[in-house]
Amino acid sequence: MAFLRVVSNEAGATVRAERLYLRSPAPGDYQDWAELREASRAFLSPWEPTWPADDLTRTAFRRRLRRYQRDIRDDHCYPFFLFRLADDALLGGLTLSNIRRGVSQSCSLGYWMGAQHAGRGYMSEAVRAVTPFAFGTLRLHRIEAACLPSNARSIALLENAGFQREGLARRFLFIDGRWQDHLLFALLAEDQ
């Protein structure tokens, strides 16, 4: 899978790959996002924090976009939605968050995929495409990721993308209504 192109501006970035592109969320994405998230609720719930009651409302989406714009401006987080090139269908999302500068130069990778698009290699392609953006454009040194030990798909995705397993964090994140252990992974710029 070859990384094709990154376009960056104040609103965020667009990353193109072979079958998809990643771009910053926009107001016009609300309906597709809300429908995909609602249709995928049962699929996503075991792997995510508990959704607020108003999570899928237009108002909550607007708040999310304002936070994203602030985070991009402040170089704290770069959120992306994944779209299939063939038909511009929204597939899922990926975020480079918790960006730490100074001696760390690192970030955290998070992602979600709509249920009907899972298992088709889209997220693997997206992760491989966003790493040159993280290491090149953002000039980071390390991308960290964490997943539940029971999430075999996520483990395989990270390992296939070159991430190395670094350990286990006990009761690391509050997922699906409880504190849960997570496997820790990382990819370094020199691993590429």
CA distances from 102 to 24, 106, 136, 172 (A): 25, 9, 16, 24
Chain segment 76-118, per-residue pLDDT in tens: 999 999 999 999 999 999 999 999 999 999 999 999 999 999 9
Q: Is the dihedral of CA 22, 44, 74, 136 positive or negative?
A: negative
Residue 90 domain boundaries? 5-191
Report the domain count for the chain. Answer: 1
pLDDT band at 12 (very low <50, low <70, confident <90, very high): low
pLDDT band at 192 (very low <50, low <70, confident <90, very high): confident
The answer on pLDDT for 10 being more than 90 is no
What pLDDT sits at residue 125? Answer: 97
What pLDDT sits at residue 13? Answer: 80
CA distances from 59 to 27, 64, 65, 132 (A): 11, 9, 10, 33
Q: Determine whether 32 is exposed, middle or buried from the number of CB atoms within 10 Å of its CB (0-12, 13-18, 19+).
A: middle
Strand 106-113 and strand 142-147: the pairing is: parallel
What CATH number is attached to the domain comprising 34? 3.40.630.30
Q: Give me the percent of the chain exceeding a pLDDT of 70.
A: 94
Chain segment 155-172, per-residue pLDDT in tens: 999 999 999 999 999 999
pTM of the model: 0.91
End-to-end CA, the chain: 13
Chain segment 55-65, per-residue pLDDT in tens: 999 999 999 99
Q: How far apart are CA 47 and CA 35, in angstroms?
A: 19
